[in-house]
Each structure stands twice: as C-alpha cells, then as structure tokens.
Amino acid sequence: MKQLSLDNLRTFVTVIDLGGYAKAGDFLGRSQPAISLQIKRLENQLNKRLFSKAGQRHEVNHDGLALYHQAKTMLAINDDIFRQFEPASIRGRLRLGIPSEFATTLLPSIVGEFSKLYPDVSLEVTSALSKSLLNENQRQEFDLIMALVPHHQELEGELLLDDDLVWVGSKNQNFANNTLSLVLAPDGCMYRSRVIQALKQQTTQWRITYTNADLAGITAAINQGLGITALARSSVPQELSIIRHDMLPNLGKIRIALFNQAQRYWQASEKLAEFIKSRLGEI
C-alpha cells in the first residue's frame, strides 16, 4: 500500500504558505536543494506536477492547490494525535548552548515549531564558541549543549554528525591575489585553529583581515570582499558558497555532538534534543 510522507507534505505546505522554496528552506532549516528533492519525491509518488515555473519562481498549480487543502488537514490530524497522547503536559525552562553558526542556520527552524508544539516550555538560548560552552566552569549553566568536538578528544556527548570542514566564500569569490585573506572567529574557535594549522603546513601566504565571533558579521565581511572563512558544511548559510581552489588545503572533518545534562525538565530536554537531531540530519 502506498503511503505519503508527512514530512514531504509539511515541506510542500510550507513552500506554499511562505511563497517559495528558499523561504521554506530558511524556515525549516534545510537547503533549497533539499526542499526541491522533497517536492520532487512527492510529485513522483503522485505522478503529478504540483508547481509550475514562472521565471525563477515556483507557482502552485491546480493539482497542487487540491493537494494543499488535503495536506493541511492530514498534518493537523497528525499534530492533534501527538498532542492527545502526550503522557503529560511538557513544561519547564530549558537553557540551550549552541555555536553561533548553528544558531543562525539551524535554530530558526527549531524554535518556531518547538514552541508551537510545546508552548509551556520556555527556551533560553546562548550562542558562544564550543570551547566556552564546554568549559568546566560554564557548562553547568546549560541543560543542553550542541558543540564542536575535535577528533583527538574523547567524546562524552552523543555524536550527531561527523561533518566536513569546508572553505567558504562569496558566490563570486576570486583569487586574483596571491595572499589569502581570512575572515575568522576569535582565538579559541576550532575552525580558526584548523585553518591556521593547515595553512602553516604549506607555502601559501595568508593574513587575517577581519575577526568576528558572530556568523552574521563574518558573512557580511565576506560579502564585502574581506576574505574567506571555514565552516562545518552543515552550517554554511545560503548567502555564501563552498569554494575549492589549488591554494586551499583540505581541512578534514569536525564532529558535532550533543550534551544533554538537564537535571530538571528532562522530558522537555529530550524533546528539544529530538528536534535538533532531526533538523541536523536533514541539512
């Protein structure tokens, strides 16, 4: 018996509600290619085109509108069932620590949906370098920590993703100059350490032109032509591009882990952990 994916249907409805693949991707915390793939799978399963192309825009067609109303009903029933069978009202105050790049790219899609399903849970988010979040004197301030962990360090938390560390620049990045200009986070950032270590092992000239701990500030600097940076592949914002060039050494991989250390409100903390793992797995 054929079965529709509720996840694909939710993406389909979000595309229509927000008016495009890119906006849906921003809201759901997924890349535009991932959104396109979900829509394509839905169209293949139904053997119907659901959108028509108008220039660069995707406009829902007659079949898409017919499905839209039914999909909304199915999703509402699904959400009601989960609310009905929750063993108890989940409530409490959660303190989440997360690196700034993931707070920018991953968190927006989590907060809205999590707050809708669990309105009695108050979420307090702190963005900082992983080193600071896991510092022995500070980590007890959080119930849940998402952090980068180097491969040589023993992993105490739950491994979420063994991700590629990639070079990132503007969409029209050029390498006219023989000296690499770098836009990096401050000392203590694992990306910064890995970049400097890799560049010191070869003859390429480089200099740090701008330092900022916030991904929004780094993104703005890169788009102003101040240089390039390095990020985990899963945290690259849509405004930037993964770049490859002979001057750029391989940066290897980086582990992303989750530390659930809640003493109170354990049930709420487990639900938030599920949201984070689900969204990160879809990027």
Tell me: the pLDDT tens digits for 185-200? 999 899 999 999 999 9
Q: In CATH terms, are 94-162+256-282 and 163-253 the same topology?
A: yes
Q: What is the CATH number of domain 94-162+256-282?
A: 3.40.190.10
CA-CA-CA-CA dihedral for 26, 27, 33, 38, to nearest 10: 180
Contacts of 4 (CB under 8 A, 6+ apart): 42, 45, 74
Instruction: Report the SS3 class of residue 164.
Output: strand
The phi, psi pair for 30, rounded to 5°, reads -130, 155
Q: Which CATH class is domain 6-84?
A: mainly alpha
When the pLDDT of each residue in the chain is averaged and rounded to a whole number, the result is 87
pLDDT recorded at residue 89: 67
The answer to whether 36 and 49 have CB atoms below 8 angstroms apart is no
pLDDT recorded at residue 86: 65
Residues of the chain with pLDDT under 50: none
pLDDT recorded at residue 147: 92
Is the CATH code 3.40.190.10 the one for domain 163-253?
A: yes
What is the b/e burial string over 183-217, where b = at least 16 CB atoms within 10 angstroms of the residue's CB? bbbeeebbbbebbeebbeeeebebeebbbbbebee
pLDDT recorded at residue 87: 57
The answer to whether 82 and 275 have CB atoms below 8 angstroms apart is no
pLDDT recorded at residue 27: 80
pLDDT recorded at residue 91: 82
Domain ranges of the chain: 6-84, 94-162+256-282, 163-253
Look up residue 140 and give its DSSP letter: G
Give the tokens for residue 209: 């032109």
The answer to whether 156 and 259 have CB atoms below 8 angstroms apart is yes
Report the distance separating Cα 268 and Cα 37, nearest Å: 31
Contacts of 13 (CB under 8 A, 6+ apart): 68, 71, 72, 75
